[in-house]
A and B are shown apart, each in its own frame.
Chain A
């Protein structure tokens, strides 16, 4: 799994946030555009692109995008 590819796919789920402002260190749940709908899109994106199942708990426990990447990679 490539970290930057993950970051790019993650950023693509947002419609109003400038992707260049989203980095691996971003605390994603503090983003203005973060919502339950975006959470569902992240879950669906991980399933589609990496064939891995993550849950609401994974999103809750990771703070930064990098931490989420680590959780996904370890599945």
Chain B
């Protein structure tokens, strides 16, 4: 018989919002690898279906929903069984210099990156779907962008700053139910989001940026494994905190 490991997710069911690609997809994979079950949420059902096929029916489930809408959020909260954890990895990014910002683009990013995170948690908590007094854990994928000031990143940085700040207040509110809330703040991770940025700012600029990362750009797995730690009982004394994953980019200076 294998010994109990606090790093295992055995017996835990986790909801992952933004599960159809990139970091969210890698998190689903790592949850199942760590012995847990996962329900992935996103709009692209074909990709979610693939995820379930790869991870195995019985280990992985999916709900197709647009989290940018109240209907989508209600659908997820209604369909979900009680869970031991939730990861919010749904998000979009857009680079726009200050003078081009209009209410529409601000609302678009704030909506999915911040409002929907709060509203999904609100519904899940209201319906008592996050198990209480059972070491449940919420992990929010924010960004190192909210610690620094990259040009043209106002829309994104503001939405992630809101997420990171609010996470502490949410952690405080949920602490009496022993539900923990922590954020991960990654630097550049090689996903579709990163390739979109490459399209906008050119491959040369990306190469130059990559060279500034002592350990190079991150891979989705790097974030996923940290998420598993935060979801597991191994981190049961940690709440209201943030882990920066940036390959040393913003702390190891020449």
Q: Which residues on A are within 8 Å of B, measured CB to CB?
A: 36-37, 39-41, 43-45, 47-48, 55-57, 59-60
Q: How large is the interface on B (under 10, 10 to 19, 20 to 34, 35 or more residues)?
A: 10 to 19
User: A27 vs B95: C-alpha distance in the bound complex, in angstroms?
Assistant: 25
Interface of B is mostly: helix
Kindly state whether residue B200 has any CB partner on chain A within 8 Å.
yes
Kindly state whether residue B103 has any CB partner on chain A within 8 Å.
no
**A45-B100, A56-B205 known; A40+B151 contact, CB < 8 A:** yes
25 contacts across the A-B interface (CB closer than 8 A) = A36-B151, A36-B201, A37-B151, A37-B152, A39-B201, A39-B202, A40-B95, A40-B96, A40-B97, A40-B200, A40-B201, A41-B97, A41-B100, A44-B96, A44-B100, A48-B100, A55-B199, A56-B199, A56-B202, A56-B205, A57-B199, A57-B202, A59-B202, A60-B202, A60-B204
Counted as pairs of residues, one from A and one from B, with CB atoms less than 8 Å apart, the total is 40
Interface of A is mostly: helix
Minimum Cβ distance to chain B for residue A12 (Å): 10
Kindly state whether residue B203 has any CB partner on chain A within 8 Å.
yes
Q: Note all chain A residues with C-beta closer than 8 A to B203.
A: 56
Minimum Cβ distance to chain B for residue A41 (Å): 5
Q: Note all chain A residues with C-beta closer than 8 A to B205.
A: 36, 56
* B175-220 interface (Cβ within 8 A of A): 198-205
